[in-house]
Amino acid sequence: MSARQHRLLTLMARQENRDLGHLSIQLGHLRQQEMQQFDIADRLGQMLDQTATLSTQPMTPGQLSTAHFMGRTLVQQLEATRSQIARTRQERTAVEQDLSQHQRRQQILQERADLCRRALHLARAEAEDNATQPRRTR
């Protein structure tokens, strides 16, 4: 293998390493977003539970209308948040798969670059040994 091949493999491995960094950052953001969405869903669920408790006192039509509106709005927001969680989870899964694939590729490229480097060092060492050995004349 040539020095050019070694250089190309090294550069490809560095590019994969950069891609790994970007994907790791993206994965971190998605995990943080997912945790925030879980927190929002939990809060909405708690608010819905609080509004679902029946009042022991009679309510006016305006109070009933307001309670109905609040309950419907909370349910809609809770459903929207759950669908966002599902989308975020799918994105996170896709990014995790990409990250795994890039890790494998980076590892393979790094191993090939190391093998190429070793082969170059062996070839140089043999060339130096051959150059330093005296020639026998008959």
DSSP sequence for 66-110: HHHHHHHHHHHHHHHHHHHHHHHHHHHHHHHHHHHHHHHHHHHHH
Q: What confidence score (pLDDT) does residue 136 get?
A: 65
Q: Decide: pTM greater than 0.75.
A: no
In the chain, the number of structural domains is 1
In a domain, 134, yes or no: no
Q: What is the CA radius of gyration of the chain?
A: 32
In a domain, 137, yes or no: no
Task: With beta carbons less than 8 A apart as the criterion, state whether 2 and 113 touch.
Answer: no
Measured distance CA(126)–CA(122) in Å, rounded: 6
Q: What confidence score (pLDDT) does residue 68 get?
A: 85
Q: What confidence score (pLDDT) does residue 98 get?
A: 93
In a domain, 60, yes or no: no
In a domain, 70, yes or no: yes
- Could you read off the pLDDT tens digit of each residue along the chain, which spans 138 residues? 678 888 888 888 889 889 999 999 999 999 999 999 999 999 999 988 887 776 677 888 888 888 888 889 999 999 999 999 999 999 999 999 999 999 999 999 889 888 988 988 888 888 888 777 766 666
Q: What confidence score (pLDDT) does residue 32 get?
A: 96
Domain extent at residue 79: 3-52+65-124
In a domain, 57, yes or no: no
In a domain, 136, yes or no: no
Q: What confidence score (pLDDT) does residue 24 get?
A: 93
61-132 vs 3-52: helix crossing angle, rounded to 10: 160
